[in-house]
Structure 1
Amino acid sequence: MNLNIGRIEGGDWASSVPAWSTFDVRMEIYPGDDLDTSEQKLRDCIAAAASGSDYLRENPPEIVCHGFRAEGYSLERDTSEPATNAGELLAAMHQIVSGSPTRADHRHDRCTFLRPLRHAGARLWPGRRTHPWL
C-alpha cells in the first residue's frame, strides 16, 4: 500500500493550540490487492495508534472515505493494444524530451507519464532538478 497524507488542517485561530485536526490521505493499492481489505488495514492502523492516547481512546478518530475507488493497475502488466500504444508513445516522448531512448528496462519510467520528465528535468532546465510545474 502506498499512502500519501496530502492535506492537514486544524485549529480555529493562529494564536492557539489546535483543538481539532483533520487530514486527507490518498491510499494506493497494488494490483491484486483487495480494496476493502486494504482499507480495513488502514483503519486498524489508525485505531492502534489512537489506542495509545488516553484522549483518543475516549474520542476515537472519525474516518470518512470519499472520492474515487479503483483496484490497483499496472501498465507494465497490461498487454492490451491501448496499453502497448501508450508505452510506445511514452518511449517516443522520452526520446524527444531527453534526446535519448528509454532504457531497455524502462519499467520505472512507465509508472507515471510525468516521471520521465522529472528524470530529464536537470538537462532541460539547468539548475533545477525538475520542470518548474512538476
Structure 2
Amino acid sequence: MPGGVLATSGEVGKASEEAWGVLTVSNKIAPAAPKRRARGGKASRARRLENFRQHKAAAPAAAPAIKWEQLAHGLLRQQRATLRDGARAAWVRMRAARAKIGAAVRSARRCRSLLARHLESLPTA
C-alpha cells in the first residue's frame, strides 16, 4: 500500500477479487419467503360473520331463502374450519409429547444396555 499503510484483510480481498474479476456475494441473510396465507383464516371468518349480521339486520321479512342458505353454509364452513384447526393443533401437541416420551425411553434403554455391558466386563469376585 502506498505510504507504508497496511491494508486490512477485507481491502486485500476486495482488491484481489476485482483484479481477478470475481463477483462478490453479499453475506446478508436472504429474507424469508412469505408465509402462505391460509384460506378462511380469522380475518375472513370475522368478515363472513359481520356480513351475516348485516344481512340479517337489513333483510326484510320476505328475504330470498337462497341468501340465507348461502350465509348458513358459510357459517357451517367456518365452524368446520375452527374444529379442524383445533383437531390439528391437538394432533401436533400429541405427536410432540409422543416424540418426547419416545426419546426418553430410547435414552433409558441405551443407558441400561451400556450399564449392563459395563457390569458384564467387571471381574466377578
TM-score tier by shorter-chain length is under 0.3
Between structures 1 and 2, the one with greater strand share:
1
Query: TM-score if structure 2 supplies the norm length?
Result: 0.22
